[in-house]
Amino acid sequence: MNFENQGIIKRLAVVLGNGDAQGAEVFAETVTQGDPTYAGPLAGVPLKIPVYHVLEDEVMAVVPEKLREERLQLSSLVIDVEPMRQVLQASREKL
């Protein structure tokens, strides 16, 4: 991979939209620390890509208001984002 593509990858963040904190924690660990069950060349390789939930303040701040109202308002009413924030913050702190 050339240096330009490596720079792009390093600026990435994964954004989740599910409502299950336990599932989000497993996904975040896989993306940040690596997947030890994968049998390919990236087995256990830590990608160190930060993971956020779409309803976290950091993400909501960059989503245009109209899009938030159209696409995220219902989710914000039914998903308790605090447990997500806690597990995803913990995964980001390990980076």
Tokens of 55: 């309803």
- The pLDDT tens digits of the residues spanning 18-70 come to 888 888 888 888 878 877 676 666 677 777 888 899 899 998 888 889 988 88
The three-state secondary structure class of 38 is coil
Please state, in angstroms and as integers, the Cα–Cα distance from residue 45 to each residue in 7, 40, 42, 51, 77, following that order: 18, 10, 5, 16, 36
Q: Is the pLDDT of residue 87 over 90?
A: yes
